[in-house]
Chains A and B, each alone.
Chain A
Amino acid sequence: MLKNLPVMVVVFLLIAGYMMPVVARWDRKKCAPFAALAMGFGVLGSVLLMNTVIASGQPITYNLGGWIPPWGIAVRIDYAESFMLMLLTGVGAFILWYASGDIGSELGHKITGWYYTAFLLLLAAMLGMAMANDLFNLYVFMEVSGICACALVAAKGDREATEAALKYLLLATIGSGFVLFGIGMLYMLTGHLNLDFVAIQMRRVWVFYPTVTWVATSFFVVGFAVKSALFPLHIWLPDAHSSAPSPSSAVLSGLVVKIYAFALMKLLYLVFSGLFTESFPVALAVRYILLVFSAMAILGGSLFALVQVDVKRLLAYSTVAQMGYIFLGIGLGSPAGLAAAMLHILNHAVMKSCLFLSAGSFIHVAGVRQVRDFTGLSKTMPWTSAAFSIAALSMIGFPPLAGFASKWYLSEGAMQSGEPVFVVLMVVSSFLNAWYYLPLVGRIYSVGEDSGVKEDIPLSMRLPVVLLAACCVVLGLFPKIPLTLVYRAVDKFLLK
């Protein structure tokens, strides 16, 4: 069992996902505990895997069916992967907890079962993407997660959500297409799909096929950039994330976009590592492009967020800006920069889920989505308001909250790469973040008018939000907990 654990985590969630409609048919109330059970297993598995990796200091490799690579399918869990597994299942569990209270009322009871199916499949696919050590499985899981994510958006079924889901589907497919082309070219160049073998071969063959290497790299960058909404390619994100039900928004903004950024990071630093250390212009070009576009994302996302009146659209544009941080870290490529990118994947997942879920709570109780209708909600919903404020302050980067640590390390990374201009960018970005988050917080706490809301949200939905906010504080005070793992992962990225 323990030997098969890596695969079991994914398979268990997949099976649980497919079981959900049956469970719903049997008794709708049993859905939530069942999904929670599967999720709990996922968290437990991730913890075990992470412990094994940390204790042994060796990556866990698992060959499916005992077939050794390059023929068989291999799964590989190293520091970075176990970090992602932990994050996906951990934050996913909080979101699922909230969803169990929210989905029935937001979507109607008919499709509750199917919603859990999509949710669990999505998580399974993301876990699969994180641990897959070959390009084919990476692609398959990418497609699964893409379709499930669309399903989560479309679940609402109204015109707006359907339109957004369709837009998302189209653009995600284009992104996948690019990635698929890239995979095809790599296969053509190296004759392998297993990442380790591709990496070894790439170091030999790129000299003979510089153009193809260049094109393949570009395809990967563009494909993953579309899927993780790097600024000019982000146009699907605000619609999708704002029209989806709140738990879906949380999982899409908090987790889904990150996994593609992580996949790109893995490809660039593990597979193309040979190119990055030698003086091949593609390496410089990729870094340069990522830096420029992430700077645009950080500024552009925030500027768009400034003018939003719908709170969920505001949060969605803020995600665009925050993805810029992550890509900035990837582009900087210095140890602290990469560490900051990974740290921010975690911190932003926690903060943004907290924000989307607390905004969802306001929407759930007060039925308002416009920023100006949030006035005075703190009176009846003190806990949710506090959680929202903490997460928002963390987004701005107030010390000692989670966002401050990522910002500090990102700036440190910029200094390490000899690009102090990005420190200025960070400062400007904090200022912009403050510009759209602080008025919101102020509005929630303004005492002037009565919000008209009489009841607080039930405890079962309040608790995950509050716990996520607590995580923001803990991650801010003790970022060394994730950072020890992150730095080991970064060492592997930069050494190989």
Chain B
Amino acid sequence: MTSPLLVLAVVIPVTGAVVIALLPSGDDTRRNCVAVLTTAVTAVLVVFLVQGALAGSQYSSPVLYITPLLPLVLRLDSLGALFALTASCLWVFATVYSTGYMAHEHDRRRYFTFFLLSLGATMGVAGAGNMLTLYLFYEMLTLATYPLVIHEGGEEAQRAGRKYMCFSLFGAGSVLGGLIISSAVFGDLEFAGSARVLDAAQAGLLTFAFLALFYGFGVKAAVMPLHPWLPSAMVAPTPVSALLHAVAVVKSGIFGIYRTTFSFYGAEVVSDLHVNAFMLFSAGVTILMGSVFALRQDNLKRRLAYSTVSQLGYIVLGAAILNRTGVTGGLLHLLNHALLKITLFFSAGAIITVTGKKNISEMSGLARRMPMTMTAFGLASLGMVGALPTNGFLSKWYLIEGGLLRDAFWIPLLLVTSAVLNAAYFFPIVTRAFFFKGDFGRFAGHEAPPSMLYPILILCGLFMLLGLWPRPTLAVADVVASALFGGVR
């Protein structure tokens, strides 16, 4: 049904950003209120919209025809709903956390302005009703997040920003090329994946276009070897790393890949093109190499970044498996990884705020000082490894099952190896913090301020809950997966 509500999901954050830009730069109280309120309102709106989308009624905005060939439209289907829900809800936590984390940083007005603009762009990506709209918001997301990456302002931040921009533009250009070629072949840019049939004469062109799209979106999804911008971008303030580089930005890349594969091309066309060998190979390399690189990092945020690279590989793998079970696993992992990684990053940010320590080697005995934060960190690490009572387990299970269904016996092997590697780089941090002797006095000092600690604890509770009672997430992922494979729902 046509409804302006969906447009509001983009407009509200942008309005909030404008309001913040107009507020005086010294007025922290009001700015924080506006920021939290805007994200909360957006999240509530999205929850409302998502209920409709999952129940099968699609909200869509009026179509704006740039030219007859190029329509812009927002339309929330179940895949978009999943992404919108994840991003908008986590944004609330990240904004609350930011108010605490940024209290001692400079240029807070600019920070929150672009933080909210990014939310608007992400909602646009999630709600995009065709590839052109998706591309438009995807580009806007790049522009809106750039000032956040270079927020520190030093030479290192500038370099990271340049790297981010270069990679992103390469990706965007590649996506644009792929879109143009496929639109010339298909004749439209709609999400008509389930209805498309491959014309054998165009197979060469489409293969090229699909790979351009895959690797184009793969830049943001940090598919190797297009990942180097992500570890560098860790110079950004921690909430940015947490939200954008674990949830919104990287997952908009993932989202683009899912959209291309299932909504735009259709699983059938993709499997007829025989391109998923490329996807499987890239995902496999990313999963392994990301973990191997993570092993060598001493800087906590960089280690988390490489872990993100590796985990994003799982989600890409879910798409590459090209069957319903695999996709369910990928989508579950999209959600689960978002929850786990944002907790990990928030904990890292809390550690930096309280102790100023950025390197793992300096964190011996840290748990005495920050027991709650480190407990959350430990539980999230377990989830990352995929230990049984946490939510990380289920997504891996589905991925393995999906792999076995297409007789790819290397996939279980790969995932088990990766789990071992995950354990190898996460558990030392936890053991060091809990059991090593260090210079952190027994229960001396305080944990991070409540605006930072509570988001960590709530998120930790949330992912533990979803680990013990995974039925809701599983149901959602299943609905989305069946919709992507042409089911009615």
Residues of A near any B CB (own CB < 8 A): 393, 397-400, 405, 407-408, 411-412, 415-416, 420, 423-424, 426-428, 430-431, 434, 438, 442, 447-448, 476-480, 483
Contacts and interface: CB of A to CB of B under 8 A. Distances in A.
- A-B pairs, top 9 by smallest CB distance, nearest first, are A415-B184, A427-B173, A411-B180, A427-B177, A399-B136, A480-B67, A434-B169, A431-B173, A423-B177
A368 B136 CA distance: 35
B177 A477 contact: no
29 contacts: A393-B143, A398-B143, A399-B132, A399-B135, A399-B139, A400-B72, A405-B66, A407-B176, A408-B70, A411-B180, A412-B69, A412-B180, A412-B183, A412-B184, A415-B180, A415-B181, A415-B184, A420-B205, A423-B180, A426-B176, A427-B173, A428-B173, A430-B169, A430-B176, A431-B173, A438-B169, A442-B161, A448-B153, A483-B67
**A-side interface mostly:** helix
Interface of B: 64-70, 72, 107, 132, 135-136, 139, 143, 153, 161, 165, 169-170, 173-174, 176-177, 180-181, 183-184, 205, 208
Nearest to A398: B139
Contact of A405 (B67, B107, B180, B184): B67
Which one of B107, B173, B183 has the greatest number of beta carbons of chain A within 10 Å? B173
Given A431-B169, A434-B169, A438-B165, A480 B184 contact: no
Contacts of B169: 430-431, 434, 438
A424 B70 contact: no
Contacts of B66: 400, 405, 476-480
A93 to B, nearest CB: 26
Contacts of A426: 176-177, 180
Nearest to B150: A442
Contact of A480 (B65, B136, B153, B165): B65
B16 to A, nearest CB: 20
B181 A420 contact: yes
B90 to A, nearest CB: 27
Contacts of A430: 169, 173, 176
Which one of A397, A399, A411, A477 has the greatest number of beta carbons of chain B within 10 Å? A399
Nearest to B146: A442
A279 B174 CA distance: 36
Nearest to A425: B177
A483 B66 CA distance: 11
A265 B323 CA distance: 52
A421 to B, nearest CB: 11
Given A398-B143, A412-B184, A427 B69 contact: no
B214 to A, nearest CB: 15
Nearest to A389: B143
Contacts of B170: 431
Nearest to B176: A427
Nearest to B204: A420
Nearest to B216: A427
Given A420-B205, A478-B66, A408 B136 contact: no
A477 B72 CA distance: 10
A480 B68 contact: yes
Which one of B64, B70, B107, B181 has the greatest number of beta carbons of chain A within 10 Å? B70
Contacts of A408: 69-70, 180
B153 A479 contact: no
Given A408-B69, A426-B180, 15 more contacts: A398-B143, A399-B139, A400-B72, A405-B67, A408-B70, A411-B177, A415-B181, A416-B184, A420-B205, A420-B208, A423-B180, A426-B176, A431-B169, A434-B169, A479-B67
A416 B139 CA distance: 26
Nearest to B107: A447
Nearest to B143: A398
A69 B132 CA distance: 50
Nearest to B168: A434
Contacts of B184: 412, 415-416
Contacts of B135: 399
A411 B143 CA distance: 24
Contacts of B64: 477
Contacts of B136: 399-400
B129 to A, nearest CB: 15
Nearest to B173: A427
A434 B181 CA distance: 22
B102 to A, nearest CB: 16
Contact of A427 (B72, B132, B153, B174): B174
Contacts of A412: 69, 180, 183-184
Contacts of A476: 66
Given A430-B173, A447-B107, A423 B69 contact: no
Nearest to A393: B143
A55 B479 CA distance: 54
Nearest to B180: A411
A305 to B, nearest CB: 16
Contacts of B68: 480
A201 to B, nearest CB: 38
A399 B181 CA distance: 17
B153 A447 contact: yes
Contacts of B177: 411, 423-424, 426-427
B266 to A, nearest CB: 21
Given A428-B173, A438-B165, A448-B153, A423 B181 contact: yes
